[in-house]
Amino acid sequence: MSMRGTWTPRLDEKYRLTLPAKYRLELTAEVTVVCEQERCLAIYARDVLDAMMDPINAAPSTRREVREYQRWAQYRAEDATPDKQGRVTLTPTQRTWAGLDKDVVVIGAGNRLEVWNPETWDAYAAELDAKFADFDGDIVPVAAQG
């Protein structure tokens, strides 16, 4: 499943986010909300995130960078099961990380949904547009294409 598109929902009074209707069937089971780079949140189907984290969790914890990334990537993560209306609750820690209040922007980003502060997203989207509008190069590193 590849998620794409942009939505501008509002969080309700309990800071619940309604997932986009077109992805509710894929996200009816347990999801995981994580704090991502660039100060946004990401919502993954739990099995997708677990598969991504498997190599990191299997890496030797004798390496400081491994331990630190394992901690950073997971200490604010929350597993959730969307309710019957397709809503998940964002924690205070997650909302603080991403600078979220009531208005949010949700984007499809391939294997996940991302949740952004609208002003942060607008500025970042402008950077992306400037970077990729006339881009003519490799996106995937050559070694990863093998």
- Structural domains in the chain? 6-133 (3.40.1550.20)
Q: What is the pLDDT along the chain (146 residues), one digit of tens a residue?
A: 799 999 999 999 999 999 999 988 788 789 999 999 999 999 999 999 999 999 999 999 999 999 999 999 999 999 999 999 999 999 999 999 999 999 999 999 999 999 999 999 999 999 999 999 988 888 887 665 55
Note the pLDDT of residue 112: 96
- Distance, in Å, from the CA atom of 36 to the CA atom of 98, rounded to the nearest integer, reads 9
Q: For residue 68, how far is the Cα from the chain centroid?
A: 19
Residue (of 9, 15, 12, 28) closest to 93 by Cα position: 15
Prediction pTM value: 0.90
- Distance, in Å, from the CA atom of 114 to the CA atom of 125, rounded to the nearest integer, reads 13
